[in-house]
Homo-oligomer: A and B are copies of this chain.
Amino acid sequence: MDVSAILLIHCPDQPGLVAAISNFIADNGGNILDLDQHVDDERGVFFMRVEWDLAGFRIPLPQIAERFGDAIGTPFHMQWQLHFSNERPRMAIFVSRLPHCLTDLLARWQSGEWQVEIPLIISNHDTLRPVAEQFGIEFRVFPIDATNKAEQEERELALLHEFAIDLVVLARYMQVLSPRLINAFDARIINIHHSFLPAFPGSRPYHSAHARGVKIIGATSHYVTEELDSGPIIAQDVTPITHRDPVDALVRKGRDLERTVLARAIWFHIQRKVLSYDNRTVVFD
């Protein structure tokens, strides 16, 4: 399969944006494979994802970013990212003691469902080391307590850099990250929260859902920001429950949701289909 280029763009809206971008591609011999565009009328912001075939493209791959920036990006005051379809993002997984999301992610990676590398798993407990070993992945433990959090996160951060990690996935990691770590991976840390946010943020959402007597439970995958469980939502899904379901049934039904919703969010991210703006996401699905 040929390599394609993907541009993710947002900028102040103005006439001629689509024409300028599509001319840049067409004039250089590119064929657009997929173009999706959105204007947020309220905020006056233009969003676009465009993917084009590089087969006959006349700009060499390493020069595309510079040429696009000079010709289009800078003049139109764009925030933009350029990706190539043959990239393999490097993903680290943070996990605590619950295996269901971890195993699911590793199975997808192992079966080739995702074009990613998973070189590193970080945990605050030793519990899931056997799962990591089963899949042959480096597993590092950093126990966290009230006194050592800052220094442990420094070590984690150093390790993320050492392993050249692009994307961090919190696969039911039961620690709140500090701003320093969050900011080092802005819009590149994906969490799965086991409720239909903004309902039931924080801990023990299944207990809260049961207590409130809701008839549907949910899971939410979002980018992590400094405010707990309040970052831009990438994906959500729900499943019906009944009065017959005690809390442990919610936990069981919720596991399937968590797996699926987290995987969906990661898929969007690694396919470069997500733009985050003003604490909301544009998902070009």
User: Which residues in A have some Cβ–Cβ distance to B below 8 Å?
Assistant: 13-19, 22-23, 25-27, 29-42, 47, 56, 99-100, 103-104, 107, 110-111, 113, 134-135, 196-200, 212-216, 218, 232-238, 240, 242-244, 246, 252, 255-256, 260, 263-264, 279-283, 285
Contacts and interface: CB of A to CB of B under 8 A. Distances in A.
A233 B211 CA distance: 11
A226 to B, nearest CB: 16
Contacts of A244: 38, 285
Contact of A30 (B15, B27, B33, B197): B15
Nearest to A23: B19
A238 B47 CA distance: 27
Q: Which of A22, A235, A263 gathers most chain B CB within 10 Å?
A: A22
Contacts of A281: 213, 243
Contact of A216 (B14, B215, B236, B252): B236
B100 A111 contact: yes
B235 A215 contact: yes
Contacts of A13: 31
Contacts of A107: 99-100, 103-104, 107
A180 B121 CA distance: 47
A35 B198 CA distance: 31
Contacts of A199: 196-199
Given A216-B236, A279-B213, A252 B18 contact: no
Nearest to A47: B243
A236 to B, nearest CB: 4
Contacts of A232: 213
A-B CB proximity, top 8 nearest: A213-B280, A19-B22, A199-B199, A19-B26, A18-B22, A103-B107, A15-B31, A16-B26
A18 B51 CA distance: 12
A255 to B, nearest CB: 7
Nearest to A216: B236
Contacts of A42: 246
A29 B242 CA distance: 29
Contacts of A214: 197-198, 233, 236
